[in-house]
């Protein structure tokens, strides 16, 4: 899946939790929680968070659990 | 020969053959081993093939069969914030930290804020001691030599063959109970104040008044992953509660619902394991004690019993495991 086909507003909604998804991939679950906490404390901006998330999924998106999660994000 | 209890002589033979190994056992056993490509930590409790056991004359040996290259190195507490940067070139990294050391504290408090957190698979455990020796002996780790270390992380950065991906997962039988939402205004290994359904009160007094079963952890939902914080002690006199892992500020926790039969529920969860080969696992000493795992088997899931588990960050009362999957 081409991650750039998913708009930044969707990535933002995933990170903020306004697009509720039940994730399967532990690394992704912990990363998104971490990004939310760092956004809340203003350690990072949303664009940094989106980049971090896309970078992570670019690396591990071929794991079956990550693929399932990606499909849920793209839906 | 992987994931099994071996004598020091058998272990030394594998080290001599150039194997990259993860080891767990008593200090004098690990300190008798030759230099080589291994890391280890002290602990005499294991989930072995025959079931949970206390063993002081054998070493639990894990060999990752898929490893093509492994580099052992230590990280001082000051170096730990770079661990995810250093792990970037590896396919998976294993870490062992001595319980109650500055390295343990540093990682526990700060790992989620390390640069590139979770960008590479990092898992492992916290070394401990025989519970009868608590306060008399200190946990140790070893990194490629028989010299025990009391305040460093021993890390094995490992490469896997092309097309193989490491996936860390957990089995946590605890889920949030139906009780109040607990939010801590200040994070850390201890707490005095908590907001209970939004109302501030002393946490030690709350647990005491509630007659809470403090064998049950606090549980937070991390986007679907249940993350525990285990309660170490409730000091009513000083109005303070100590934890085995830090609570995170402004995160919603609940006391866990009771688990009636750990082994039975564990076996149910085993059926949901991913398809890849399970190559490493570790489980918590509190699960071992509270669920009376001695002599009982948890399927084919074997490994050291630990004073804390690491799946990217420190966890409590959780089984952590690694599978190696073929990339789709």
Q: What is the DSSP string of B317-328?
A: S-EEEEEEEE--
* Identity of the residue in B112, B165, B250 whose CB atom sits nearest the CB atom of A60: B165
Q: How far apart are CA B23 and CA B62, in angstroms?
A: 6
Q: How far apart are CA B314 and CA B328, in angstroms?
A: 29
Largest CA distance in chain A: 33
Residue of B nearest to A20 (CA): B223
pLDDT at B221: 94
The residues of chain A scoring below 50 in pLDDT are none
Residue B265 tokens read as: 């529920």
Q: Residue A74's closest CA among A56, A61, A63?
A: A61
The pTM of this model reads 0.94
pLDDT at B327: 76
Alpha-helical runs (H) found in B1-100: 8-16, 27-30, 83-87
The residues of chain B scoring below 50 in pLDDT are none
pLDDT at B67: 85
Q: How far apart are CA B174 and CA B113, in angstroms?
A: 25
pLDDT at B108: 95
DSSP annotation string for B199-240: EEEEHHHHHHHHT--TTSPEEEEETTEEEEE-EEEEETTTTE
- β-strand partners of B169: B321
In chain B, domain spans: 4-170+263-326, 182-255
* Identity of the residue in B119, B225, B274 whose CB atom sits nearest the CB atom of A64: B274
ipTM for this model:
0.91
Residues of B with CB under 8 A from a CB of A: 112-113, 117-119, 121, 165, 167-170, 222-225, 227, 248, 250-251, 274-275, 311-313, 325, 327-328
């Amino acid at each position: 899946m081409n991650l750039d086909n998913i708009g930044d507003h969707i990535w933002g909604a995933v990170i903020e939790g306004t697009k509720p998804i039940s994730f399967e991939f532990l690394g992704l679950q912990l990363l998104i929680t971490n990004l939310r906490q760092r956004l809340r404390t203003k350690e990072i901006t949303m664009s940094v968070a989106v980049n971090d998330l896309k970078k992570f999924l670019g690396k591990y998106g071929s794991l079956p659990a990550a693929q399932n999660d990606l499909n849920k994000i793209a839906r | 020969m992987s994931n099994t209890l071996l004598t020091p002589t058998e272990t030394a033979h594998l080290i001599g053959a150039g194997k990259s190994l993860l080891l767990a056992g008593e200090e004098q056993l690990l300190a008798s081993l030759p230099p080589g490509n291994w890391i280890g930590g002290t602990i005499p409790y294991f989930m072995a093939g025959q079931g949970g056991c206390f063993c002081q004359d054998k070493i639990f040996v894990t060999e990752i069969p898929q490893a093509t290259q492994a580099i052992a190195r230590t990280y001082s507490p000051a170096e730990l914030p770079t661990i995810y940067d250093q792990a970037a070139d590896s396919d998976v990294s294993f870490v062992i930290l001595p319980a109650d050391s500055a390295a343990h504290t540093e990682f526990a408090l700060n790992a989620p804020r390390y640069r590139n957190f979770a960008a590479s698979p990092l898992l492992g455990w916290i070394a401990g001691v025989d519970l009868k020796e608590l306060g008399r002996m200190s946990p140790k780790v070893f990194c490629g030599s028989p010299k025990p270390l009391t305040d460093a992380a021993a890390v094995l950065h490992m490469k896997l063959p092309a097309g193989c991906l490491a996936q860390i997962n957990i089995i946590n039988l605890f889920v949030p109970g139906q009780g109040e939402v607990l939010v801590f205004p200040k994070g850390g290994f201890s707490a005095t104040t908590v907001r209970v359904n939004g109302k501030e009160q002393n946490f030690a007094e709350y647990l005491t008044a509630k007659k809470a079963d403090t064998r049950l952890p606090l549980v937070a939902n991390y986007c679907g992953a249940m993350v525990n914080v285990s309660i170490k002690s409730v000091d009513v006199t000083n109005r303070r509660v100590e934890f085995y892992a830090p609570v995170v500020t402004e995160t919603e926790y609940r006391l866990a619902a009771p688990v009636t039969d750990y082994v039975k529920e564990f076996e149910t969860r085993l059926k949901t394991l991913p398809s890849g080969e399970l190559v490493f696992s570790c489980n918590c000493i509190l699960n071992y004690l509270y669920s009376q795992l001695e002599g009982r088997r948890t399927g084919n899931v074997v490994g050291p019993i630990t004073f804390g588990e690491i799946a990217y960050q420190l966890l409590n009362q959780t089984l952590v495991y690694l599978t190696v999957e073929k990339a789709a």
